[in-house]
């Protein structure tokens, strides 16, 4: 019986404690596209220096995060790799709630840095292991718009998942963001490639007041500098 | 408390069923992509069940009948995949059997065999998570029945193979069937180890759970329909299964 009452007390506490995350006043929960993994930490650091609160970053495929937000996941702000994903989340947003064109990124064909030399024809070589993003996530939609009929070996749920496949040497070629190649020493461009579209335009949305203060920070030159330092473009590649 | 307990387990399923798009179900399930992942799922899970049968039966017998050294450790290893997060299992498989893994690099170099991104890899992932269910079920049955009958048959002059064929196996068949059904159902539902180790390619490694996960992002209706299929299959396997996990009384 004592065990049962102890259990009841624990249960009561668990249920009574408000859901943490978005309700915790000292933190701002930011959902961010997985391709922003490295830059989000630096943005959070810079914001903290500027007097902002602590940022809790939740990273994942943009579409997956958007689906979670539609189902009521508690977030203060959402940085997506596709502005269209924000449409279902914000009804009639105020200008301060939305930044379109936060930064731009483009796709490159990458390979493990210790791999043999490749050329553009290798993209269609059936014997090589080629990994790309799945349709429905922004990097995948861009990939499939630009290339079709690729002999793909796996459709990964996010850009970062493709990066990992290359980093571990499981794939010979992968289509990732230019920023991923810049960030990971284990990856190189498979051959010289000029920036080309379709590109990815990141957009930011504020879902709460605290999220709005984060967006205000994102609009500052300091935040833009962080993005550019990580290889993101301030303007779409022409 | 018991009612609360069953509610915790049943409520999500009720939620799933009440949101099901019953009217368009036939249409959703008739799609080529759905049929394709159904085919992959059935192929992978049946092949996994075959491997489980071949590898699991001797393993269960050894665990039940032979005094193996470090038996507790061996048993813990056998049961481990049941509690290990499948994504950890998939990561482990990647570092063991991946192209640059411990064993995988030699498979690749000597035999030109790659498991990652292949259906064989999906089978390996399914076997990894499903094998314990079979071994535990069959080992339990072997322990419960004891070895008196075998000793008796041997005393009466039956050679070991005859004992195995005429005494041990016939009494083990119900448990083997039950264990196999459980293992097959677990293989059919496998997600984490599969996507981590074998990747996600329609027609090759995209099983029903992977298709469900992907559909959830773009087409929740289709995800619901796929979930219903998996739920129905799992129930169809579990309800008629009788063994020590499901004592009938």
Averaged pLDDT, A143-152 = 88
Strands A173-177 and A130-133: parallel
Average pLDDT over residues B52-79: 91
Does B37 contact A at CB distance below 8 Å?
A: no
Range A138-146 average pLDDT: 88
- A199 touching chain B per CB within 8 A: no
Q: Does B4 map to a domain?
A: no
In a domain, B99, yes or no: no
The segment(s) of chain A belonging to CATH 3.40.190.10 are 20-104+199-229, 107-189
Residue A201, CA atoms < 13 Å, CB-side half-sphere: 14
Shortest CA gap B217–chain A (Å): 5
Specify the DSSP element, H or E, that contains A55. Answer: strand A54-60
CATH number at residue B233: 1.10.3720.10
Contact indicator for B126, B56 with CB cutoff of 8 Å: no
Q: Which residues have CB under 8 Å from A94's CB, separation 6+?
A: none
Q: What is the pLDDT of residue A198?
A: 76
Decide if pLDDT at B237 tops 60: yes
Determine whether A46 is exposed, middle or buried from the number of CB atoms within 10 Å of its CB (0-12, 13-18, 19+): middle
Contact between B238 and B246 (Cβ < 8 Å): yes
Contact residues on chain A for B94, CB-CB shorter than 8 A: 168, 170
- 């079920």: which residue's tokens? B137
| Range name among A183-197, B92-106, B114-128, B185-199 with the lowest pLDDT average | A183-197
**Residues A110, A188 contacting (CB under 8 angstroms):** yes
pLDDT of amino acid B40: 95
Q: Which one is the CATH code of A20-104+199-229: 3.40.630.30, 3.40.640.10, 3.40.190.10, 1.20.272.10?
A: 3.40.190.10
CB contact under 8 A, A153 and B201: yes
B100, B114, B200: residue with CB nearest A155: B200
Region for residue A160 given its phi and psi (left: phi exceeds 0; alpha: psi -120 to 50; beta: otherwise): alpha
Residue B186 in domain: yes
The pLDDT of residue A21 is above 50: no
Name the pLDDT band for A130 (thresholds 50, 70, 90): very high
Task: Tell me the chain A residues in contact with residue B220 when contact means C-beta distances shorter than 8 Å.
Answer: 67
Residue B78 domain-assigned?
yes
| B100 touching A (Cβ < 8 Å) | yes
Nearest CA in chain B to A156: B200
B34 falls in which pLDDT band (50, 70, 90)? confident
Residues 59..118 of A with a Cβ closer than 8 Å to B: which?
Answer: 61, 63-64, 66-67
Task: Tell me the average pLDDT across B51-61.
Answer: 95
Rounded to whole angstroms, the Cα distance separating B120 from B179 reads 22
Chain B residues with CB-CB distance to A137 below 8 A: 217
Nearest to A160 by CA among A59, A57, A64: A59
Nearest to A35 by CA among A120, A152, A160: A160
Instruction: Give the B window 176-205 contacts with A, CB below 8 Å.
Output: 195, 199-202, 205
Environment class of residue B230 by beta-carbon count within 10 Å: exposed (0-12), middle (13-18) or buried (19+)? middle
Mean pLDDT of A159-172: 92
Question: What pLDDT is attached to residue B108?
Answer: 84
Distance CA A144, CA A140 (A): 6
The residue segments making up the domain with residue B63 are 33-86+114-238
Count of the separate structural domains present in chain B: 1
ipTM, two decimals: 0.78
Asked if residues B234 and B158 have their Cβ atoms less than 8 Å apart, the reply is: no
| B206 inside 8 A of chain A by CB | yes
How large is the average pLDDT for residues B11-29?
A: 85
Residue A2 confidence (pLDDT): 61
Evaluate if residue B246 carries a pLDDT over 60. Answer: no
Whether the full predicted model's pTM is greater than 0.95, yes or no, is no
- If 0-12 CB within 10 Å is exposed, 13-18 middle and 19+ buried, where does residue B145 land? middle
B5 neighbourhood in chain A, CB within 8 Å: none
Of the two residues B160 and B136, the one the predictor is more confident about is: B136
Helix (H), strand (E) counts: chain B: 13, 0
What mean pLDDT do residues B43-56 have? 97
pLDDT band at B181 (very low <50, low <70, confident <90, very high): very high
| Residues ≥6 apart with Cβ < 8 Å to A170 | A129, A131, B94, B98, B99, B100, B116, B117
Interface test mutation site (partner A, options B104, B115, B195, B200, max chain A beta carbons within 10 A): B200
Chain A residues in contact with B7 by the CB 8 A cut-off are none
Q: Report pLDDT for A196.
A: 76
Determine the pLDDT at residue B46: 95
Are A157 and B214 inside 8 Å of each other by CB?
yes
Q: Residue B44: its pLDDT value, please?
A: 97
- Looking up tokens 């998942």 gives A161
Question: Contact B217/A155, CB-based, under 8 Å?
Answer: no
d(CA B94, CA B125): 10
Which member of A64, A136, A154 has the closest CB to residue B201? Answer: A154
Q: Which CATH class is domain A107-189?
A: alpha beta
Check whether B39 has a pLDDT greater than 90: yes
Inter-residue contact B46 to B96 (CB < 8 Å): no
Tell me the pLDDT of chain A averaged across its residues.
85
Rounded CA gap, B171 and B182, in Å? 19
> In the β-sheet with A77-80, what is the strand arrangement from edge to edge?
A54-60, A27-33, A77-80, A200-206, A98-105
> Would the CB atoms of B217 and A136 count as touching at under 8 Å?
yes
Yes or no, beta carbons of B217 and A131 under 8 Å apart: no
Minimal C-alpha gap between B144 and chain A (Å) = 33
């Amino acid at each position: 019986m004592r065990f049962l009452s102890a259990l009841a007390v624990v249960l009561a506490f668990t249920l009574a404690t408000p859901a943490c995350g978005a309700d915790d006043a000292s933190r701002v929960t930011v959902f961010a596209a997985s391709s922003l993994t490295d830059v989000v930490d630096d943005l959070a650091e810079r914001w903290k220096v500027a007097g902002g609160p602590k940022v809790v970053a939740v990273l994942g495929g943009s579409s997956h995060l958007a689906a979670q937000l539609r189902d009521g996941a508690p977030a203060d702000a959402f940085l997506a790799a596709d502005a269209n994903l924000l449409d279902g989340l914000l009804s009639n947003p105020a200008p301060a709630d939305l930044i379109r064109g936060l930064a731009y990124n483009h796709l490159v064909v990458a390979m493990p840095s210790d791999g043999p030399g490749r050329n553009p024809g290798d993209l269609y070589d059936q014997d090589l292991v080629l990994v790309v993003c799945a349709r429905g996530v922004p990097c995948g939609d861009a990939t499939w718009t630009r290339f079709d009929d690729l002999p793909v070996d796996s459709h990964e749920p996010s850009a970062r998942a493709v990066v990992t496949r290359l980093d571990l040497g499981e794939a010979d070629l992968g289509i990732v963001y230019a920023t991923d190649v810049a960030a990971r020493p284990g990856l190189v461009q498979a051959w010289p490639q000029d920036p080309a579209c379709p590109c990815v335009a990141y957009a930011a949305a504020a879902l709460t007041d605290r999220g709005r203060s984060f967006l205000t920070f994102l609009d500052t030159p300091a935040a833009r500098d962080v993005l550019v330092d990580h290889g993101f473009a301030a303007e779409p590649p022409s | 408390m018991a009612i609360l307990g069953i509610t915790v387990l049943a409520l999500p399923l009720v939620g799933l069923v009440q949101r099901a798009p019953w009217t368009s179900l036939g249409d959703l399930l008739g799609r080529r992509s759905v049929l394709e992942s159904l085919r992959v799922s059935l192929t992978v899970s049946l092949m996994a069940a075959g491997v489980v049968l071949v590898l699991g039966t001797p393993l269960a017998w050894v665990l039940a009948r032979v005094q193996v050294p470090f038996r507790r450790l061996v048993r813990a290893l056998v049961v481990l995949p049941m509690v290990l997060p499948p994504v950890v299992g998939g990561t482990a498989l990647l570092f063991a059997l991946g192209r640059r893994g411990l064993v995988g690099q030699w498979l690749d170099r000597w035999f030109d065999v790659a498991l990652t991104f292949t259906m064989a890899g999906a089978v390996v992932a399914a076997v990894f998570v499903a094998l314990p269910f079979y071994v535990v079920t069959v080992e339990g049955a072997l322990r419960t029945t004891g070895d008196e009958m075998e000793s008796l048959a041997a005393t009466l002059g039956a050679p070991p193979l005859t004992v195995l064929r005429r005494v041990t196996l016939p009494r083990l068949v119900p448990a083997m069937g039950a264990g196999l059904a459980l293992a097959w159902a677990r293989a059919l539902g496998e997600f984490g180890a599969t996507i981590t180790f074998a990747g996600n390619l329609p027609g090759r490694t995209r099983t029903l759970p992977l298709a469900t996960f992907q559909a959830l992002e773009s087409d929740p209706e289709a995800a619901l329909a796929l979930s219903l299929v998996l739920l129905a299959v799992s129930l169809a396997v579990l309800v008629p299964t009788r063994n020590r996990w499901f004592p009938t009384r």
